[in-house]
Amino acid sequence: MDKNNHIAFLCLGTNLGDRELYLSDAIQKIGAHPEIEILKKGTALNTEALEVTDQPDFLNQLLQISTHLSPKELLDFLLGIENEMGRIRTRDKGPRVIDIDILSIDDMKVHEKGLHLPHHSLFTRPFILELLNELGEGSLIQAFGNPSEG
């Protein structure tokens, strides 16, 4: 198991039911993992659905975490939280109780089935930059350069 300390950014989103409660529950579950420390928690931001627009607005929030988990272990853990909280994938980019994306882990570039780092939303969702700036991490996007390179 990879025991290096990694800094990761997560984006949480929800657009069904009690959105504030779902974000709070997901953050509590993430922070309860013995290999994860939440370093920074951004403000929850109401955002319109961008790609599939015939659905309710989202409430999104960023977390900066420190973890010893490998990218795959972190992804599996976060998918487990989504499943536990009742996420049902019936429609790509459709409504969801909770969505937890790994935006980045250190400066890793990973392209595997189900795991792409940095996450495409760093470059395609304008609210991500706003939330990163709030956390003082706006330069993160520039650190990865143009996503079409390499």
How do residues 45-100 score in pLDDT, each as one tens digit? 999 888 777 789 999 999 999 999 999 999 999 999 999 998 777 666 768 889 99
Residue 140 has a pLDDT of 75
Secondary structure class of 143 (helix, strand, coil): helix
> What's the predicted TM-score (pTM) here?
0.88
How do residues 115-141 score in pLDDT, each as one tens digit? 999 998 888 888 888 888 888 887 777
Dist. CA 117–CA 123, nearest whole Å:
12
Q: With cut-offs at 50, 70 and 90, classify the pLDDT of residue 148.
A: very low
What architecture is domain 6-144? 2-Layer Sandwich (3.30)
Q: Where are the domains of the chain?
A: 6-144
CA angle (129, 112, 11) in 5-degree steps: 25
Is the distance from CB of 98 to CB of 14 less than 8 angstroms? yes
Amino acid at 34: P
